[in-house]
């Protein structure tokens, strides 16, 4: 079963969002430990991690 162009495009968009979130975390004024923890959460739990980071992450 193929996902087709739509599936590939959605995957690319999701990858861009994850990379953007990681860049935002890395550039935040939070401490190194907090940054590392947020990046791990985003990478290990992409959907839930991004949602949690959006609401609770460093502003």
Residue range 2-21, pLDDT digits in tens: 555 666 788 888 889 889 98
pLDDT digits (tens, 9 = 90+) for 30-53: 889 988 998 898 888 878 887 887
Tokens 């975390």 belong to 25
Integer Cα distance of 10 and 14 in angstroms:
6
Length of the chain: 59
The reported pTM is 0.73
């Amino acid at each position: 079963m193929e996902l087709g162009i739509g599936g590939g495009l959605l995957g690319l968009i999701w990858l861009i969002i994850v990379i953007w979130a990681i860049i935002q975390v890395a550039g935040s004024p939070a401490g190194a430990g907090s940054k590392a923890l947020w990046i791990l959460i985003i990478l290990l739990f992409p959907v839930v991690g991004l949602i949690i980071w959006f609401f609770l992450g460093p502003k």
